[in-house]
Amino acid sequence: MHNDIKLIYKKLAAFLLLIAPMFMIGHYFLSPIVDTDFPYRSKFNEVFNAQENAEVVIFGACSGLATINPKILEALNPKVYNFSLHGAGPFYIVQWYTKIFKNYYKKPKLIIISIEMIEVNQPRNIGYDSEYFPISLFLKLLLFDREIPFKYLLYNKYPFIKNRFLILRALLSKTIIDESFQWDRYYKGYAPLIAKEKLGEMQTIVSNKNKSMEIKNSPEAVADLKRMIQLFKDENIPVVYLTLPYYYTHKSSYLPHPAIQEIRDVLKQEVDGKNVFYLDYNNDHPSNLNYDESFWYNQTHLNENGSNIFTQKLKNDLFHLIPPAHKNIFVE
């Protein structure tokens, strides 16, 4: 190589190397002030360094996080943990289970999955959570996993880059944590939503004609759902799929929306009374929860009171739903 060219490459190397100290300074000073994701960290910690060693685990999106209280389910089996994460649909759960959970955690005896009818389309990617991965897993995914985009892993590894849009807010000492949850009540992956006094101008999910809110399942989302069901069948783990209750202003309005019906059909087809169970709390098992405004944070999320009542109901239903062959799941 020509000497002039060599010099340029040396300069380029110096230029790129200088990014490292700048990066470290940024990480040292900025990461602490924008590190917000308390429930995520503790949940991933539980996977990588098991404390609870749960036998009954809960997967799903944020409504599961705020709705299923492990404390109440402990009456069935004291080893319960709620692994629900914001925006975690079937696509995410498959990634999460095969790439992480299976390799680090004990095989659960029962999985409860809340299927979010709206978020079934959301392709949250496991790469978004690279911040919580141990370095070995991070490198393994970065170098050898072609399903997870390179950039997702890199951009989410350090809080000050992951939450870069929050830095300014944090520096202006504005709050950056999600204040709708009561974090002081956090328990085994569950955090209740605050009680709102009034729901305000809420529309029911079926009567909502706003075009931007139109719910539609993409073919990929339906395929992901089927893939998830198949995954746990192959793993031979009993799974209870849940459609969590929604708030309806009128009794007459709870006709299933076509998109919800589509998901219901898929799940109902798969129910085998052995490993696949399905509980729909809107259409098959409605209750006064669906109509009483005082139980709700918003139209799709129960508040603390509502979630406790719901989990009680779920506990009873689970006990009667699971066939005798599986009864060893529950510790009397």
Residues near another protein, by CB under 8 A: 1-2, 4-5, 7-9, 12, 15, 18-19, 22, 149-152, 154-156, 161, 164, 167-168, 210-212
Of 12 and 271, CB closest to another protein: 12
Contact indicator for 186, 66 with CB cutoff of 8 Å: no
Pinpoint the alpha helices (H) of the chain: 3-17, 19-30, 38-48, 62-67, 70-73, 90-95, 102-104, 135-144, 150-155, 159-162, 167-171, 219-235, 258-270, 304-321
Distance of closest approach, residue 180 Cβ to another protein, in angstroms: 20
Closer CB to another protein, 78 or 149, in the complex: 149
Residue 19 token pair? 């990014």
| Nearest-approach distance from CB 203 to another protein, in angstroms | 15
Name which of 4 and 197 has its Cβ closer to another protein. 4
Which neighbouring-strand residues pair with 60? 114
Residue closer to another protein, measured from CB, 13 or 50: 13
| Choice between 7 and 255, CB closer to another protein | 7
Pick the closer one to another protein by CB: 9 or 28: 9
State how far the Cα of 171 lies from the Cα of 33, in Å rounded to an integer: 8
Sort residue 253 into left (φ over 0), alpha (ψ -120 to 50) or beta.
Answer: alpha
Cα Rg of the chain (Å, integer): 22
* Residue 5 C-beta: closest distance to another protein, Å: 5
Q: How far is the CB of 20 from another protein (least distance, A)?
A: 12
Could you tell me the smallest distance in angstroms from the CB atom of residue 157 to another protein? 11
- Whether the CB-CB separation of 82 and 190 falls below 8 Å is answered with yes
How far is the C-alpha of 147 from the C-alpha of 163, rounded, in Å? 23
Q: State the nearest-atom distance from the C-beta of 21 to another protein, in Å.
A: 11
The answer to whether residues 253 and 207 touch, using CB atoms and an 8 Å cutoff, is yes
Least Å distance, CB 286 to another protein, is 32
Q: How far is the CB of 152 from another protein (least distance, A)?
A: 6
Question: Is 36:170 a contact under the CB 8 Å cutoff?
Answer: no
Q: How far apart are CA 311 and CA 314, in angstroms?
A: 5
Give 84 or 125: the residue with its C-beta nearer to another protein.
125
Q: Which is nearer to another protein, 18 or 331 (CB)?
A: 18
Interatomic CA distance for residues 172 and 60, integer angstroms: 34
16 token code pair: 């790129």
